[in-house]
Amino acid sequence: MDKRETLCTLNNALKLLAALRIFLIFLPQNGYIHPDEYFQSVDVLAAKIFGVEHSPAWEFNTTFPIRGMTIPYFTTGMCFFFLRDINDLAMEYLSLNVVSPYFLLVMPRFIMGLFSFTVDYCLYKICYNNNEKYKTRLIVLGSSYVLLVYSTRTFSNSIELILFSLLLLFVCESQTFSNELVRKQEYIDYRYKNSESLVEKVKFHKLRLYLVPDTYRNGLIIASIVIFGIFNRPTFIGFAVIPIFFWIYRGTGTKRVSVTQFHTRILFFAFCSLPAFILNVIIDSFYYGYLTWGEIGMLDVSIDNFVVTPLNFLKYNVLSTNLEKHGLHPRYLHFLINVPLLFNILGALALFKIGEYYYLIIQGKLNLLPSVKSIKMVMIMSFISPILMLSVFPHQEPRFIIPVILPLVYLHGMNILPEPDNILITVPEYTIEGRKKKQKLEKQNYLFFKAWLIFNSLLLVFYGFIHQGGVYFATNYLYKDIRLTALNTQFNIITSNIYSLPESFFLEKAADKLYSHYNTKYSIKKRVHLYERGSEELIALISLIGTIAKFTYAQECSKSHTFKYKIYLLISSSRSRELEDILQKSNVIGKKIDKFGPHISVEAFPDFSRYCLRVTSIFYDNCQILSFWDYLNVIGNLCQLTLYEIQFSNQSTIVNNTLIT
C-alpha cells in the first residue's frame, strides 16, 4: 500500500469513527453508567423547563448549592427549550411528539456529541502546530470508548474533558509561539551585536520591531476556560494547575523574559478571570433564587444575594464524613485500577513510561528527560498531576479522570497505531528473508492496535448497552403506560437492585405548583410515586410491597376514594428467581409483565456458575448442564430487567419481615 492509499484509508477511518459516534447517540445507547448523567443536568433542567415531577439531587439544594448551572443551562437547557418550542409544530406537521423520553435522552447527548469533537480538533491542532503526525492519533482517540460513550453523556466530567482539551490547546499554542519567538529574538540579537556595518544593524533592528510580543498571549481565553471549568466542576483546578503554570512560566529563564514578566502574567491572569467569575456567580445566584430582578430594581442587593457554588463544593468535600456517604476508596485506585480500566493499553503504556522516567530521575540522568520547554513535558505533567491531586480525595470514580485521555493519546497514540511513514525498515526487501522480517515487523506494529480495538469494543458494548441497560427501556414502557391509563390512576413504582429512574422522563406535571385555567387556580395530585430500595434484602422489599399493596387495596375498596392504583416492581432478573420464591409464601402476587435488556447490575451480578454448557468428557458438580442454545437462553434471561405488576391477596400479610396468615 503506497502513501496515497494509506492516507485515504486513514481519512476514511476518521470519517467512519465520527459517524459512529453520532450514530450511537441516536440508536440510542441505553447503557446507564452512573445516576449523575441524569440527576446533575437532565432531570433538574427538565423539571425547570417542562414543569414536571423530578427527583431533586442534593447538590441543587437552594440552601447550600454546590453545582454551577451556567454550562448545563446553556447546553442541556437550550436543548429542552428547543424541544418545548417546536413540539406543537412537530405534532401538527409531523405527528411527532418531541417531548418524550427518547428525545429527552438523545438531544442533550447529541449536543454533547457535537461538543466532543472539540477534543479531536484540539489534538489535531496541537500536533499540527508542532509538525507532528496526527491522523493515527485521531484514530486512536476516536476509537476509544471514552469518546464514544463517556464524552456523549451529560456528565460534568464530559464538559471537563472538553474544557481541559481547549485549555491544553491554547497553552500549547502559546508555548510553541513563545519558544519560536525566543529563538528568533536571540538569533536577531546575536546578529545585531555581531553586525559589521551600520546598514546591517539597521536591518536587524527593523526585524526586531516586527516581532509580535507574546507576554499575555491567549491570557483572556485561558483564564475564562479555567473559571468556567471550576464552576462546572471545582476539581478542574487539579487539571488546570499544570497548564496554567506552563503558560505563566514559558520563556522564563531566557534573556528575553524577566522575572517581572513572570509576575505580571500572574496578575494579568487573575484580572482576566474576573469577567467569567462574575458571570457565573450572577447566573448561579439568579438560578438558585438568591438574586431577583425585583431586588435589583429596588437596589436592595448585598453580599448575601450571591452564591459561589465552587466554594460550597470545596466546603462539602473537604470533610471525609461527607465523602463516606458516597463511598470511600483507597487512594491508589485511580492509578492502579481506573487508568487501566478507562484507557487499557494506552494507560498501561503511560504507567510504564512513568516508571521509566522515575528510574531516570533516581539514576540522575535528567538530561534524558523531555525538555521543560517542550509540549511533551506539558502533556506528561498534565497526565500525572491531575491524577495525583484527585487521589488525595478518598472518593474516586473512573469518570473523574477521563479528561487525561488527550495527553495520553498525544504521548502514546503512535505506539498503538504508528503511521506507515514512521516505520523504518532496515532489512532488504528483495530477499525472501527480508520480506518475512518486514511482515513480522508490521504485525508487531499493529498488534497493540488490534488489542486496543478489542478492549474498547467490549467496553463500549458493556457501558454503552449492557450496564443497567434495561432502565431506559423500562422507563419508556412505564411512560407509555402512564399516558394510556386514566388520570385517576396512581402509579407506585418500586425498584430494586438497579439505578434510580429519571423521574422527569415520565413527564408528569409537578404537584407542588399552582395551575390556572380561565382565572381558576388549581393544583394536581402527585400521580407517580417512586420507591427506590437499592440493594435491600428481598424479605424487607416484600414487606414494603405488602404494605403498599394492602394500603392500595383498602383504598380501592373504599367507596369514598375515586383513585385507582397500579403497583409495579422493577428488579434485576438475576434476583427474580429468589424473589418469586419469597412471593409464593406471601400474600403478594407478582405478575410478570415484561423484560427489558440486555441489562446487568454489577450490584446484583448474575450467578452464571449454576449453569454449565454441555461439553463431552467434562464432569460438573452442582451445576445444571444445558445444551448450547438453552445455555444462551438462560444467560440472556439472567441479563435482563424484569417488570412485575403487584396485586394483593387479603388472606395474609407481612408485618416487620414476618409472614402472618
C-alpha–C-alpha distance, residues 258 and 224, integer Å: 25
Q: In the chain, pLDDT over 90 holds for what percent of residues?
A: 53
Answer whether residue 628 shows pLDDT above 60: yes
Confidence of residue 617 (pLDDT cuts 50, 70, 90): very low
Percent of the chain with pLDDT over 70: 90
Backbone Cα Rg of the chain: 30
**What is the per-residue burial (b if ≥16 Cβ within 10 Å, else e) of 389-426?**
bbbebebbbbbbbbbbbbbbbbbbbbbbbbbbeeeeee
pLDDT tens-digit readout, 185-196? 778 877 888 887
Closest CA to 475 of 540, 528, 527, 546: 528
Examine the pLDDT at 623 and tell me if it is beyond 80: no
- Could you tell me which of 22, 236, 243, 36 has the C-alpha nearest to residue 122? 243
Answer positive or negative: Cα dihedral of 353, 358, 364, 367. Answer: positive
Strand pairing partners for 612? Answer: 625
Q: How far apart (Å, rounded) are the C-alpha atoms in residues 364 and 358?
A: 10
Averaged pLDDT, 129-144: 94
Contact criterion met (CB below 8 Å) for 174 and 131: no
Q: Residue 106 — pLDDT band, cuts 50, 70, 90? A: very high
pLDDT of 504 > 90? The answer is yes
pLDDT in tens, 272-323: 999 999 999 999 999 998 999 888 888 888 898 999 999 999 888 777 677 7
The answer to whether residue 36 scores a pLDDT higher than 80 is yes
Q: In this predicted structure, which of 95-109, 136-150, 201-215, 272-286 has the lowest mean pLDDT? A: 201-215
In the predicted structure, residue 423 carries a pLDDT above the cut 70 = no
Q: What pLDDT, on a 0 to 100 scale, did the predictor assign at position 487?
A: 86
Residue 518: per-residue pLDDT: 79
Domain regions of the chain by residue span: 16-413, 470-660
Q: What is the pLDDT of residue 444?
A: 60
Question: What local confidence, expressed as pLDDT, does residue 654 receive?
Answer: 42
How many Cβ atoms sit within 10 Å of the Cβ of residue 443?
10
Q: Which band of pLDDT confidence, cut at 50, 70 and 90, is reported for residue 251?
A: low
User: Does 625 have pLDDT greater than 60?
Assistant: yes
Query: What is the DSSP secondary structure assignment for residue 500, as one 8-state letter?
Result: P
30 phi and psi angles, rounded to 5 deg: -95, 0
- 425 pLDDT band, cuts 50/70/90, is very low
For residue 398, the Cα-to-chain-centroid distance in whole angstroms is 10
**Which amino acid appears at position 64 of this protein?**
F
Residues 599, 469: Cα–Cα separation, whole Å: 4
Given a contact cutoff of 8 angstroms between Cβ atoms, the answer to whether 571 and 646 are in contact is no
Mean pLDDT check: name the lowest of 294-308, 615-629, 647-661. 647-661
pLDDT band at 427 (very low <50, low <70, confident <90, very high): very low
pLDDT at residue 655 tops 50: no
Residues whose CB falls within 8 Å of the CB of residue 547, separated by 6 or more in sequence, listed in order: 654
pLDDT band at 255 (very low <50, low <70, confident <90, very high): low
- Asked if pLDDT for residue 497 goes beyond 60, the answer is yes
- Whether residue 660 has pLDDT greater than 70: no
Q: Roughly how many angstroms between the first and final C-alpha of the chain, as a whole number?
A: 79
| Residue in the structure block whose three cell numbers are 442454545 | 629
Q: Which of 656 and 523 is assigned the larger pLDDT?
A: 523
Average pLDDT over residues 87-108: 94
pLDDT above 90: residue 647: no
**Tell me, what amino acid is at 247?**
W
- Residues 46, 55: Cα–Cα separation, whole Å: 11
Strands annotated E in 436-554: 489-496, 515-517, 520-522, 528-532
Element holding 589 (H helix, E strand): strand 588-596
606: left (phi over 0), alpha (psi -120 to 50) or beta: beta
Please list, in sequence order, all residues whose beta carbon lies within 8 angstroms of the beta carbon of residue 308, skipping any fewer than 6 positions away.
Answer: 281, 284
Q: Per-residue DSSP letters for 588-647?
A: EEEEEEEEE-S-B-GGG---GGGEEE--TT---SS-EEE-HHHHHHHHHHHSSEEEEEEE
Give the pLDDT mean for 486-490: 87
User: What SS3 state is found at 441?
Assistant: helix
For residue 523, what pLDDT is reported? Answer: 83
Quote the distance between the C-alpha of residue 334 and its chain's center: 16
- Mean confidence (pLDDT) of the chain: 86
Q: Give the pLDDT confidence of 345-384 residue by residue, as tens digits.
A: 999 999 999 999 989 999 888 888 888 888 999 999 999 9
Residue 572: enclosing H or E segment and its boundaries?
strand 564-572
pLDDT-derived band at 443, boundaries 50, 70, 90: low
Compute CA distances 640 → 133, 198, 263, 465, 636, whole Å. Answer: 45, 85, 60, 12, 7
| Residue 452, burial from CB neighbour count under 10 angstroms (0-12, 13-18, 19+) | buried
Q: Are strands 658-660 and 624-626 parallel, antiparallel or unpaired?
A: unpaired
More confident residue, 118 or 553: 118
Residue 433: per-residue pLDDT: 61
